[in-house]
Amino acid sequence: MTYVAAIDQGTTSTRCILFDHDGSPVASAQREHTQVLPGPGWVEHDPREIWANTRDVVSQALTRAGVSASAIAAVGIANQRETTVVWDRRTGEPVYNAIVWQDTRTARIVRELGEPDRYREVTGLPLATYFAAPKAKWILDNVDGARARAERGELLLGTIDSWLLWNMTGGPDGGVHRTDVTNASRTLLMDLGTLSWDAAIAGELGIPLSMLPEIRPSAEVYGRARGSRVLDGVPIAAALGDQHAATFGQVCFEPGMAKNTYGTGNFVLLNTGERAAPSTNGLLTTVAYQIAGRPPAYALEGSIAVTGSLVQWLRDNLGLIDSAADVETLARTVDDNGGAYFVPAFSGLFAPHWRADARGALVGLTRYVNRGHLARAVLEATAFQVREVVDAMNADAGLELTELRADGGMVGNELLMQFQADLLGVPVVRPRITETTALGAAYAAGLAVGYWSGQDELSALWSEDKRWNPAMTPEARGRTLRQWHKAVQRSLDWADGD
């Protein structure tokens, strides 16, 4: 029996999962990496630690499955998007830590570049600290000698997929420097229409084109692993940004299908087919995926910065719970939020607001509010933010969402899932296999090498585990949404952006 391996390199950890032909996980391994926080709003990762962890979890997963590389048909990569690495093409050494997608240090750069919609027509994205290009510019501007080295062709630039792919295929000894259309579409440098780097934008940001990886489809053989000892000879056949991989894993292949991943942040993607739908309501136009030899599928996306990480904050910073799972138990000690609303704008607000000046706000407090109410407000903050994104998505796409497919670490929280269905007024559905990010990377890699015959076969593998139907009255929904919108207004105009 052969398997497909998926490397799921996320914001807090790296995993490897082996999937069989039924799309079921057979073995896995996971390792967390260090969150480097040099200052307020600054978030970094050590790329070398991520690469070392990747090698370790692949080795552990194969050992637990009792197989060697010869049993692996292909490897797919799913990665935290926008997180940016610059490294030396000769030595493989990063010139600086990876700057993480959550990082807001580039606020000044973004402001100086001009109006938020300056590049939207070409890239589908607003000017924001979220994306990779301002992060790359910061590294070139602030690391001694980096810009001169880049202009001499000595440095490479990429998101985490490119960093892993380059190392997995040999690194300094001929490593492949490529990325896929989904990750490229999150840099603020790719033309959505041509699927190529925009030389004018790169020039304005001072990023030499020689640094950038070649853009390829998401499902395609990029090269074979070599030099890692564990996977040598195995084709690396897919790369997708994590949310695009989850969309693929949820088999949202038809226009109008949508998924939401409840992770460190939340990411709602709506498949818009072969049409790149522009947004006038604060969403991102992005590439959903591309299979080699076919046109790309596009998507509208609503990106929410802080959801699962808010539960971690409740655990680690306030000590109100011992584990993330305890938040539901604590929240169930009360019947509602007690009038308390938590807007988790720790790094500003992402979609649909795009306000870097926002900061976290806990409002509506009275003496009545207790620990249970705070836990409930933390969970409800996720659902409120998703509702805002879905409203924007419905307006941009000209349709009404009829069902939301949910995945990610928080979908086991049944209180949250029910409240989400209540707020949306449509069912929320959890699939049988919730590891959809890794599954999507595996599916894409398997398609590229013929392990699966096509998308119809993948769609047939998807099955429902549980469904939550809305139970809240429209009147109650309207009242609580009005209070949420008031709370959001209280979080704005706080930080000066410097």
- The answer to whether the annotation marks 312 as part of a ligand binding site is yes
In this prediction, residue 497 carries a pLDDT of 52
243 annotated to bind ligand: yes
pLDDT at site 373: 97
> Does the structure show a pLDDT above 70 at 68?
yes
* pLDDT above 70: residue 498: no
Answer yes or no: is 294 a known binding residue. Answer: no
CA neighbor of 187 nearest in space, from 148, 150, 213: 213
Name the residue among 484, 372, 469, 376 with its Cα closest to residue 420: 469
3-state secondary structure of 137: helix
**Cβ neighbours around 462 below 10 Å, total:** 17
11 known ligand binder: yes
Read off the DSSP letter of residue 423. Answer: H
Burial of residue 32 (number of CB atoms within 10 Å: 0-12, 13-18, 19+):
exposed
**DSSP letter assigned to residue 217:** -
34 is in an annotated binding site: no
- 264 is an annotated ligand-binding site residue: yes
The per-residue pLDDT for 116 is 86
Spell out the residues 6+ positions from residue 1 whose beta carbon is closer than 8 angstroms to its own: 20, 71
**222: three-class secondary structure by DSSP:** strand
pLDDT at 4: 97
Pairing of strands 3-9, 72-79: parallel
Peptide bond just before 352 cis, omega within 30 deg:
yes
User: Would you say residue 229 has pLDDT above 80?
Assistant: no
Per-residue pLDDT tens digits for 308-358: 889 999 999 999 999 999 999 999 999 999 999 999 999 889 889 988 889
Map tokens 């998807």 to a residue. 462
Helices (H), ranges, 169-291: 181-184, 199-205, 242-249
CA distance 457 to 198: 36
Task: Count CB-CB contacts under 10 A for residue 56.
Answer: 16
Helices (H), 105-187: 107-113, 120-123, 132-142, 146-151, 160-168, 181-184
Number of C-beta neighbours around residue 40 at 10 A? 11
Consult the annotation and say whether 413 binds a ligand: yes
* 242 annotated ligand binder: yes
Residue 73 pLDDT greater than 60, yes or no:
yes
On whether 81 is known to bind a ligand per the annotation, the reply is yes
pLDDT per residue over 23-60, tens digit each? Answer: 999 999 999 999 999 998 899 999 999 999 999 999 99
Does an H or E element contain 270, and which? strand 266-273
CA angle 189, 112, 269 (to 5 degrees): 40
- Identify which of 199, 159, 200, 166 has the alpha carbon closest to the alpha carbon of residue 182: 159
- What angle in degrees, to the nearest 10, is found between the helix axes of 160-168 and 47-65? 60
| Per-position b or e across 89-127, b if 16+ CB within 10 A of its CB | beebebbbbbbbbbbbbbbebbeebeeeebbbebbbbbb
Predicted pLDDT of residue 264? 82
Res 245 pLDDT > 90: yes
The ranges assigned to domains in the chain are: 3-243
Q: In this structure, what token pair is assigned to residue 363? A: 């409002």
Please report, in angstroms and rounded to a whole number, the separation of the first and last CA atoms in the chain: 56
pTM of the complete model: 0.87
Q: Give the whole-angstrom CA distance, residue 153 versus residue 141.
A: 16
CATH number for 3-243 (one of 1.10.132.10, 3.90.1150.10, 3.30.420.40, 3.40.190.10): it is 3.30.420.40
Distance of alpha carbon 100 from alpha carbon 66, whole angstroms: 35
pLDDT of residue 430: 95
- For 4-27, the DSSP string reads EEEEEE-SSEEEEEEE-TTS-EEE
CA atoms within 13 A on the CB side of 235: 19
Least confident of 87-96, 260-269, 331-340: 260-269
pLDDT tens digits for range 396-418: 887 778 889 999 889 999 999 99
pLDDT in the model for residue 434: 84
**pLDDT tens digits, residue range 137-181?**
999 999 999 999 999 999 999 999 999 999 999 999 999 999 999
Whether residue 314 contacts residue 320, with contact meaning beta carbons closer than 8 Å, is answered with yes
Annotated binding-site residue? 409? yes
φ and ψ at residue 170, rounded to 5 degrees: 130, -15
Of 117-121, 229-233, 456-460, give the lowest mean pLDDT range.
229-233
Closest CA to 331 of 265, 378, 364: 378
